[in-house]
Structure formats: structure tokens, C-alpha cells
């Protein structure tokens, strides 16, 4: 595991749009400045999650490829 996160959400058992919804829920519940990490096995997350973070004006801190899944880390910016 690379970048540390305030909250880690394992969405590997969830299909599209589950991981994106987990990221949205995580950011919604986080405090400004916190980082939220979501683990996803869903290939759609690679486009969905960064696109949502950009639109919602938060910060994508890291996209880390792990064995069989991807870890997305975002910082709540506002």
C-alpha cells in the first residue's frame, strides 16, 4: 500500500457503479482535508472515479495498481 488515507474503503466485492458510489459516500462523510481510499476491481472505476473527483473539485492523490485491483486515493478539497 502506498499513500496513506484517513479512511480506507474496500469495494472489491462491488460491481459498477458500486466503487464510485463508495468514493462519493466516503467523500461526503469526510472532513475537508481528509483523504479517502477506495479499492476496486471494477475496470470502469478507472474512468468513473477520476472523472467524478475532477467534476466535484476534489483532488485525486493517487491511483495505485495492486495485485488484481486498483486503489484510488482522493482528498476532500472543499
> Is 10 part of the annotated catalytic residue set?
no
Using CB under 8 A, pick the residue from 21, 60, 62, 63 that binds another protein: 21
- Least distance CB 72 / another protein (angstroms): 15
Q: Does the footprint of another protein cover residue 48 (CB under 8 A)?
A: yes
CA separation, residue 55 to residues 24, 48, 77 (Å): 12, 11, 12
Task: List the beta strands (DSSP E) in 1-78.
Answer: 7-10, 35-40, 59-66, 69-75
Using CB under 8 A, pick the residue from 10, 41, 46, 56 that binds another protein: 56
Active site positions, annotated: 16
Amino acid at each position: 500500500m502506498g499513500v496513506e488515507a484517513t479512511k480506507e474503503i474496500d469495494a472489491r466485492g462491488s460491481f459498477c457503479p458500486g466503487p464510485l458510489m463508495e468514493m462519493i459516500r466516503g467523500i461526503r462523510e469526510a472532513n475537508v482535508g481528509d483523504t479517502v481510499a477506495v479499492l476496486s476491481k471494477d475496470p470502469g472505476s478507472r474512468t468513473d472515479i477520476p472523472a467524478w473527483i475532477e467534476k466535484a473539485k476534489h483532488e485525486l492523490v493517487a491511483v495505485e495498481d495492486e495485485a488484481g485491483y486498483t486503489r484510488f486515493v482522493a482528498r476532500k478539497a472543499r
